[in-house]
Amino acid sequence: MRIVIIDDDNLVGISLKTILEANQEVEVLAIGNNGKEGILLYEKYQPDVLLMDIRMDIMTGIDAAKIIIEKDKNAKILFLTTFLDDDYIIKALQLGAKGYILKQDFESILPALKAVYSGQNVFGDKIISKIPSFLDQKKALEDLPFSISQKELELIRLVADGLSNKEISQKLYLSEGTIRNYLSNILEKLDLRDRTQLAVFYYQNHLDLYR
């Protein structure tokens, strides 16, 4: 199996090469340090699998993958990363990446590589559990220094529906001033500046999935 490794940290690249080449079947053709090099090295060597970091200077792994897959839709790209990021996962899936696993999982890398080589897609547990539609993730509100009452949550939802203070006050049979005070409290608790940031908070934490 001929592979190319791309990682910001050269040490990681070298270590991976050593680990992987301990296996007879693996041949590391080249090591690069950023997305641009990823593109060039992929074109030059046409590896069976491209093992690539996501966060990199100059050009990210995501951007590089996009370009590579545009040219070769059968490219097999396995992302290696040190942390989790919902956005990246979704993007990676959309691009047609074949996998997404944590660098820390040393023992997993080789099997993952082989599975990808054989045509499968591989994802780590923690990653699968990030895909919002399937899994139940913790309500972010429970991890806060201050607790949010039921009434406050109700208010947050109405803001996240795009209602104005006046509309909310009518809906809840409270005065507009009261709504403002409530909201002001909520914003302080959550360390946000205005209702738009509150709505952003709501959706980015997938609170809409728990209605």
Binding stretches for a second copy (CB under 8 A): 87, 90-91, 93-94, 101, 105, 107-108, 110-112, 114-115, 117-125, 127-128, 131-135, 159-162, 164, 192-197, 199-201, 203-204, 208-211
Q: Which residue has the tokens 């200077």?
A: 57
Distance (Å, rounded) from C-alpha 93 to C-alpha 45? Answer: 24
Nearer to DNA, 87 or 188 (CB): 188
Which of 44, 90, 135, 177 is in the footprint of DNA by CB under 7 A?
Answer: 177
* CB of residue 120 to a second copy, shortest distance in Å: 5
The one-letter code for the residue type at 52 is: M
**Helix, strand or coil, per DSSP, at residue 61:** helix
Backbone φ and ψ of 18, nearest 5°: -60, -50
The tokens of 198 are what?
């509150």
Distance (Å, rounded) from C-alpha 24 to C-alpha 32? Answer: 22
Nearer to DNA, 94 or 164 (CB): 164
Q: Check: CB of residue 96 under 8 Å from CB of residue 137.
A: no
Nearer to DNA, 97 or 183 (CB): 183
Q: Which stretch binds DNA (CB under 7 A): 28-36, 76-84, 86-94, 190-198?
A: 190-198
Nearer to DNA, 86 or 176 (CB): 176
127-156 residues in contact with DNA (CB under 7 A) are: 149, 151
Residue length of the chain: 211
- How many Cα atoms are found within 13 Å in the side-chain-facing hemisphere of 143? 5
Q: Which residues bind DNA (CB under 7 A)?
A: 149, 151, 164-166, 174-175, 177-178, 180-181, 183-184, 187-188, 193-196
